[in-house]
Amino acid sequence: MATAPLAGFVIGVTADRRADEQCEMLRRRGARVLHGPTIRTVPLAPDVSIHAATDTLVASPPDVVVANTGIGIRSWFAAAESWGRGDDLIDALSGARILARGPKAAGAILTTGLPVEWRAPSETLAEAVDEVLRSTPTGSHVAVQLDGNAEQRDVERLREAGYRVTDVRVYEWNEPTDTEPAARLLQAVCDRRVDAITFTSAAALQSFVALAAAQGCEDELRDAVNGPVLAVCVGPVCARVADSLGLRGFHPERPRLGAMVHWLTAELAQRRRQVRLAGIDVSIQGSAVTLGDDTVTLTEREQAVLDILVAREGRVASRSQLLRAVWGAASDEHALEVTIARLRRKLGPAGAAVRTVVRRGYRLQID
């Protein structure tokens, strides 16, 4: 039976929205998932924010509408419908030029029956604002549906340029009610106990780094993400934020959840190693080791020891090197001996390739 493509790998997920969907996609591929949401999407009271903005736009229809997010557009129109102003809102926007930041926002607009005239090629709000500045006369009325960010620098550019702007704020991003899962995920990343971590929004990424700064482990986070832990962003906007924070973030060509999971799966597949031990073909994929038709799962320490031995390609790893790398100390040789014995047992006949070098350490005999 073929090993699942992500079997043996541990993936950290920071999302709040669509987190269950993402986690399920990863688990179906065999991954073990650590979920630690770093933000919480909170709908704003419709009678305070959305209602007032909708009344303004119905009374004074806009010349341009900027649709920013799919969830924001859907929630806005659903709220308007709930208080009997859905048709009034559609009528007010029907004469406007509608610009969409990306396909989700465009799709949400199209479901209302309104047309989308333009979509940002880079799928950024900044580019949509640039289009307004380029093609719309100063003084025009512009409605901008906002995301959950507290700061909206791109919208301020419109006001500074002399446009009349109506903000449509549907939700905001807050700290999670329970921060412990995010803290546990952060520690796992710093300890390099995850193979990859995903970010589906720039806000989630910024919150994760802020948490690291608050806990005094920002340097450890950067070392891990810029080292063995793969940081995968849903798209280029999030990846640019990662870069600005000193983190190496990767992203798929298409900024979609499914594309991100597919890209991550393909990337981690390149970390799969094939070796021949004691005449047996062995595939090592994270903590999953496949020997013929059988797959065994290693503990974190067994995996760490095997990774070091494989990386040394037959050269001796001293006891002190292994203890420092795996246990963080050089005093408990018995723990190392027990781990080596368990590793040999799990590898079965291939375990004979784990050789003891008297008074020096261990090495892996690779055929």
Closest by Cα among 97, 10, 83 to 51:
83
Assess whether pLDDT exceeds 90 at residue 236: no
Average pLDDT over residues 144-153: 82
- Which segment, 1-5, 123-127, 242-246, is predicted with the most confidence on average? 242-246
What digits encode the pLDDT tens for the residues 52-63? 999 999 999 999
- Decide: 238 and 201 in contact? Cβ < 8 Å: yes
Give residue 147's pLDDT band: very low, low, confident or very high (50, 70, 90): confident
Residue 3 belongs to a domain: no
Q: How many domains does the chain have?
A: 3
Give residue 46's pLDDT band: very low, low, confident or very high (50, 70, 90): low
Both tokens assigned to 190: 């710093």
The pLDDT of residue 215 is 95
Same domain, 160 and 195: no
Out of 150, 173, 196, a domain closes at: 173
Average pLDDT over residues 89-109: 96
Assess whether pLDDT exceeds 70 at residue 47: no
Could you give the count of Cα atoms lying within 13 Å of 227 in the half-sphere of its Cβ?
12
Out of 217, 250, 269, a domain closes at: 269
Assess whether pLDDT exceeds 50 at residue 1: no
Crossing angle of helices 180-190 and 202-214, in 10° steps, is: 80
Residue 5 belongs to a domain: no
Residue 118 is part of a domain; what is its CATH number? 3.40.50.10090
Residue 2 belongs to a domain: no
Q: Within 10 A of 312 (CB to CB), how many other CB atoms are there?
A: 16
Closest by Cα among 343, 333, 350 to 300:
343
Same domain, 191 and 235: yes
Same domain, 88 and 29: no
Same domain, 294 and 253: no
Same domain, 93 and 125: yes
CA distances from 234 to 38, 98, 193, 199 (A): 15, 25, 22, 6
Assess whether pLDDT exceeds 90 at residue 344: yes
Same domain, 197 and 260: yes
Q: What is the DSSP string of 242-264?
A: HHHTT--EE--SS--HHHHHHHH
Same domain, 233 and 168: no
The pLDDT of residue 224 is 96
The pLDDT of residue 27 is 97
Out of 155, 173, 191, a domain closes at: 173
- Decide: 11 and 35 in contact? Cβ < 8 Å: no
Lowest mean pLDDT among 175-184, 214-223, 308-317, 319-328: 319-328
Mean pLDDT of all residues belonging to the chain: 93
Both tokens assigned to 213: 């700064």
The pLDDT of residue 135 is 97
- By three-state DSSP, how is residue 282 classified? strand
Average pLDDT over residues 18-22: 95
The pLDDT of residue 96 is 98
Residue 1 belongs to a domain: no
Same domain, 92 and 66: yes
Same domain, 132 and 277: no
User: Global pTM?
Assistant: 0.84
Range of the domain at 280: 273-364
Q: What is the DSSP string of 285-312?
A: ETTEEEETTEEEE--HHHHHHHHHHHHT
Average pLDDT over residues 174-188: 95
Closest by Cα among 159, 107, 99, 104 to 125:
99
Assess whether pLDDT exceeds 70 at residue 151: no
The pLDDT of residue 331 is 64
Residue 204 belongs to a domain: yes
Average pLDDT over residues 144-155: 83
Same domain, 62 and 141: yes
Crossing angle of helices 70-82 and 86-93, in 10° steps, is: 130
Q: Can you give the length of the chain in residues? A: 367
To which residue do tokens 């920071």 refer? 14
Same domain, 48 and 157: yes
What digits encode the pLDDT tens for the residues 204-232? 999 999 999 999 999 999 999 999 999 99
The pLDDT of residue 150 is 61
